[in-house]
């Protein structure tokens, strides 16, 4: 029989790519959104898989709603990709961020325990949990020092997963993912803001791109590769947590330079920095050590920041030329 997978948050960037991966592996795929009648699933449409994913409405912070969907779909694997996903927005909506991530994760774990089926659970963690490690590469044993409501929420969810794994012997894992991008990133994320602006300016726009602190460093990877690591975590004999990253760190100014260079422009002529776009607290440098994923999962990132930027620029150019 086909394996059944439930992707909570299938309408997001990672949800679409994960659904595609699982379908290609022969899974029966179910996806959730708070309200599928008004939800946007353009990622599934672009990938050409919208008719192959069975959608269900589910409010992840409502335990009864979670129970209902899990009972109906009977999944072998659950992927928790839902919850407020923007660090910047979490400062404006801290309660929504905390509830959607921590209570949502707890409800899913409790539902798995309630049904007593051998369901395997993946939780989307975040490198934001580490805070600033002063340039030291973060691995699975690096202490958390979260510096945003989003990071605090993700850290709490991580320990919920660890607790249920130890206390109830559930097969549950957290992927501590560093920044990963794709053509599906919304404009509120700085990477998409940069690549889209560079393309518009190259095609005649007179706008100035205004950013916050350009002197931050991040490890940027390609989202379609990262969802494979999620799947691999649930195929192991023993559940564990994994840092997922390229292992290469670049500054935001280098990211900006790569985007404008891909459009034949000098970024210094088109970019300004403003304190208005700086966060109350931010991480100076994100550096990763993904060796555990390489050794235990056999997973290694293939695309680094420069190729990620080129792919995002190409997608933005094609979209603009198509009149979208």
Phi-psi category of residue 243: left, alpha or beta, with phi > 0 → left and psi -120 to 50 → alpha: beta
**Dist. CA 189–CA 191, nearest whole Å:** 6
Please report which helix (H) or strand (E) contains residue 53, including its range.
strand 53-57
Q: Which is the catalytic residue, given 126, 174, 196, 316?
A: 126
Is 65 considered catalytic here? no
Buried b (16+ CB within 10 A) or exposed e, 21-46: bbbeeebbbbbbbbebeeeebebbee
Q: Which is the catalytic residue, given 17, 27, 122, 150?
A: 150
Query: Could you give the C-alpha distances from 24 to 18, 19, 109, 178, 199, in angstroms and in order?
Result: 10, 9, 27, 25, 33
Q: Which is the catalytic residue, given 28, 77, 128, 160?
A: 128
Q: 232 is written with which tokens?
A: 């691999």
Q: 265 is written with which tokens?
A: 């422009």
Cα 271 → chain centroid:
27
Neighbours of 144 (CB within 10 A): 18
**Dist. CA 283–CA 91, nearest whole Å:** 14
Is 28 considered catalytic here? no
Is 126 considered catalytic here? yes
The catalytic site residues sit at 126, 128, 150
């Amino acid at each position: 029989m086909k394996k059944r997978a439930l992707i909570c948050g299938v309408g997001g960037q990672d949800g679409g790519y994960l659904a595609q991966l699982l379908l290609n592996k022969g899974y029966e795929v179910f996806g959730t959104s708070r309200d599928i009648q008004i939800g946007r699933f353009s990622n599934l449409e672009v990938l050409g898989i919208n008719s192959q994913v069975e959608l269900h409405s589910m409010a992840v912070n409502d335990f009864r709603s979670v129970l209902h969907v899990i009972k109906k779909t009977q999944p072998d694997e659950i992927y928790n990709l839902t919850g407020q996903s923007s660090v910047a927005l979490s400062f404006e909506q801290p309660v929504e961020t905390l509830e959607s991530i921590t209570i949502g994760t707890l409800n899913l774990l409790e539902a798995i325990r309630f049904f007593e089926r051998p369901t395997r659970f993946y939780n989307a963690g975040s490198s934001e949990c580490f805070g600033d490690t002063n340039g030291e590469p973060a691995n699975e044993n690096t202490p958390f020092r979260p510096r945003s409501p989003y990071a605090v929420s993700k850290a709490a969810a991580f320990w919920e997963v660890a607790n249920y794994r130890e206390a109830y012997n559930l097969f549950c894992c957290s992927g501590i993912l560093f920044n990963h991008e794709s053509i599906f990133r919304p404009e509120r994320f700085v990477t998409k803001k940069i690549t889209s602006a560079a393309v518009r300016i190259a095609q005649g726009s007179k706008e100035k791109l205004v950013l916050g602190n350009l002197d931050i460093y991040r490890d940027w990877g390609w989202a379609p590769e990262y969802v494979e690591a999620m799947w691999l975590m649930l195929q192991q004999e023993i559940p564990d947590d994994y840092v997922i990253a390229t292992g290469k760190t670049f500054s935001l100014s280098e990211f900006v330079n790569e985007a404008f260079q891909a459009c034949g422009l000098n970024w210094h002529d088109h970019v300004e920095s403003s304190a208005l776009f700086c966060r109350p607290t931010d991480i100076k440098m994100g550096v990763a050590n993904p060796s555990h994923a390489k050794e235990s999962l056999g997973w290694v990132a293939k695309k680094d920041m420069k190729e990620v930027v080129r792919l995002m620029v190409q997608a933005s150019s094609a979209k603009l030329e198509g009149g979208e």
